[in-house]
């Protein structure tokens, strides 16, 4: 099972890296076209270098940025990589920590999963709205809902991850829920003192 999870993680990282590559390549195209267009006669000699053909690059970079952020948070960033405020959590005994982790995991998971339907309802109008310039690159089928559908994927993935973490904390599965890696333990002064 860990081999499958590791493979899925590497695939998710590869997709995020591909998004970053596309953003960088598009940025290079923007710079080349912007400065190349200033050279006299270049657009007339090479019609494919006409700056009017590259209006899609800005919107494409913005769409890739949205996808990169939500994809990365849903599938690449690990729980321990997030910023946490754990002063209170680390100050209480281990059993209370598990209760805190269970409750917060349940609240976050349920909140994200129950927000899917209202969010999807708000996205309904976006199925009609075309993007400003991505149609030049991808064709007329692309709609604004297609650009923002990654947010629904994010809600599902992070919602289930939060519920999974709550289950791990509640039933003491997978080692120490506060450790960076399975099998590690966190130095807990309360635990050392018998708390």
Instruction: Tell me the per-residue pLDDT of 34-43, one tens digit each, with 9 for 90 and over.
Output: 887 777 877 7
Q: What is the pLDDT of residue 117?
A: 96
- Cα-based distances in Å from 40 to 51, 55, 142, 146: 13, 20, 35, 39
pLDDT in tens, 49-101: 777 788 889 999 999 999 999 999 999 998 788 787 888 888 999 899 999 99
Task: Retrieve residue 174's tokens.
Answer: 């997978």
Give me the mean pLDDT over the 96-123 stretch. 94
Q: Which residues of 29-61 are buried (b: 16+ CB within 10 A; e: fewer)?
A: ebeebeeeeeeeeebeeeeebeeeebebbebbb
Kindly state the average pLDDT of the residues 128-137.
Answer: 82
Q: Is residue 193 pLDDT above 50, yes or no?
A: no
- How much is the pLDDT for 72? 95
SS3 sequence of 41-98 = CHHHHCHHHCHHHHCHHHHHHHHHHHHHHHHHHHHHCCHHHCCCCCHHHHHCCHHHHH
**What's the pLDDT tens digit per position in 150-162?**
999 999 999 999 9
Domain spans of the chain, in order of start = 2-192
Furthest C-alpha separation in the chain? 80
Q: Which residues contact 131 (CB under 8 A, 6 or more apart)?
A: 59, 63, 142, 143, 144, 147
- Give the SS3 label for residue 190: helix
* Strands, E assignment, 113-170: none
């Amino acid at each position: 099972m860990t081999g499958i999870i590791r493979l899925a993680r590497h695939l998710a990282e590869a997709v995020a890296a591909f998004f970053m590559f596309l953003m960088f390549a598009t940025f290079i195209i923007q710079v080349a076209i912007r400065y190349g267009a200033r050279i006299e006669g270049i657009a007339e000699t090479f019609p494919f270098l006409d700056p009017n053909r590259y209006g899609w690059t800005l919107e494409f970079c913005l769409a890739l940025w949205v996808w990169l952020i939500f994809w990365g948070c849903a599938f690449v960033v690990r729980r321990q990589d997030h910023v946490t405020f754990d002063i209170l959590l680390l100050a209480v005994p281990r059993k209370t920590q598990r209760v805190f982790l269970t409750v917060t995991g349940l609240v976050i998971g349920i909140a994200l999963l129950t927000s899917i339907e209202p969010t999807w309802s708000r996205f309904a109008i976006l199925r009609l709205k075309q993007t400003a310039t991505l149609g030049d690159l991808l064709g007329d089928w692309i709609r604004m809902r297609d650009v923002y559908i990654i947010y629904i994927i994010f809600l599902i993935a992070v919602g289930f991850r939060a519920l999974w973490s709550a289950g791990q904390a509640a039933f003491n599965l997978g080692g120490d829920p506060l450790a960076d890696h399975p099998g590690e333990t966190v130095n807990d002064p309360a635990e050392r003192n018998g708390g």
